[in-house]
Amino acid sequence: MRICSIASGSSGNCIYIGDGRHHILIDAGISRKRIVEGLEALGVLPEELDGILVTHEHSDHIKGIPMMEKMFATPVFATGGTLAEICEKDKNGDVRSECLHQIYPEESFRIGDFHITPFPMSHDAAEPVCYTVESHGKKLGMATDLGIYERHTVEYLGGSDCLILEANHDISMLEAGKYPYALKRRILSSKGHLSNEEAGELLSKLYHRKLKYVFLAHLSKENNYPKLAYEAVKCELWERLGMTALPFSMFVAERDKPSAAVVLD
Task: CATH number of the domain at 70, please.
Answer: 3.60.15.10
Handedness of CA 80, 15, 230, 173 (dihedral sign): negative
Does residue 7 have a pLDDT over 90?
Answer: yes
Q: Please count the structural domains in the chain.
A: 1
pLDDT band (50, 70, 90) for residue 10: confident
Q: Is there a contact between 108 and 132 (Cβ–Cβ < 8 Å)?
A: no
pTM flag (> 0.85):
yes
Rounded to an integer, the average pLDDT of 65-74 is 94
Range of the domain at 61: 2-263
107 burial level (CB within 10 Å; 0-12, 13-18, 19+): exposed
pLDDT band (50, 70, 90) for residue 259: very high
